[in-house]
Structure 1
Amino acid sequence: MTFVVTESCIRCKFMDCVDVCPAECFYEGERMLVIHPEECIDCGLCEPHCPVDAIVPDSYPEGQRWAGMNIQYSQLWPKIRKAKYPPPDAEEFRGLPNKFDKFFSSKPGSAS
């Protein structure tokens, strides 16, 4: 089992999870984060720290749907080792359903 980031992260991009991850397995896109499944050590520390419940085990149905996305983009986006501030409009997108089609971006984040 590993953990994956789901659609709930899109446009919220809170990074509380990054600071608690001992494996440094998060990668940053322009509008969301993903977890590299081969780097995740399955400790579960990130899951309760996500304020929008965007992190789930890949064994959950929602996790299974997002596992491929996490694999794909963790190979394309830069690794992020330190949390940054969320976007200024993050709260407007908290809990918004069906964000992928409207707001997902395949562009990498800055991860600096």
Structure 2
Amino acid sequence: MTYVVTEQCIRCKYMDCVSVCPVDCFYAGETMLVIHPDECIDCGVCEPECPADAIRPDTDPSVQDWLALNAAYAAQWPNITEKGEPPADADDWKGKPGKRDLLTDTPAA
């Protein structure tokens, strides 16, 4: 089992999850983070830390598309091991539905 970052992270990207991850399995894109499914140890400490409620276990049937997306982008984006600054407008995007079209495949700078 692994944990999966979902649509709610897009444009929020708070990164609280990164600071508690014991195995550094988060990878950063321009508009969201992802979890590398082969590196996640299923400890679950990241899930309650996410202010956007964007992290779910892969046993949740609604995250299957996001699991594949996490795996693909984790192979392309840089690993992130420390919490950074979220976007200035993160709170404006928190909880908004329909953000998938705002996802870019661009790695974090």
So what's the TM-score if we normalise by structure 2?
0.98
Distance 1:21 1:62 in 2: 23
Q: Deviations over 1:6-26 (max 9, x none)?
A: 000000000000000001000
Superposition RMSD on alpha carbons, in Å?
Answer: 0.6
Question: In the alignment, which residue of structure 2 is the partner of 1:3?
Answer: 3
Preserved CA contact (<8 Å) 1:3 1:63 = no
- Which residue pairs with 2:25 in the alignment? 25
Output one character per residue of 1:6-58: Cα deviation in whole Å (capped at 9) or x when no partner.
00000000000000000100000000000000000000000000001100001
1:43 corresponds to: 43
Aligned to 2:53: 53
Runs of 4+ that moved beyond 6 A: none
The answer to whether residue 89 in structure 2 is matched with residue 106 in structure 1 is no
How many percent identity over aligned positions? 57
Inter-partner Cα distance in structure 2 for 1:62 and 1:36? 18
Matched residues, number = 109
C-alpha distance in structure 2 between counterparts of 1:49 and 1:88, whole Å? 19
Give the secondary-structure state (helix, strand or coil) at the position aligned to 2:56.
strand
Write the distance in 2 (CA, Å) between the matches of 1:62 and 1:69.
13
Gaps of 5+ in 2: none
Deviation at 1:62, TM superposition (A): 2.3
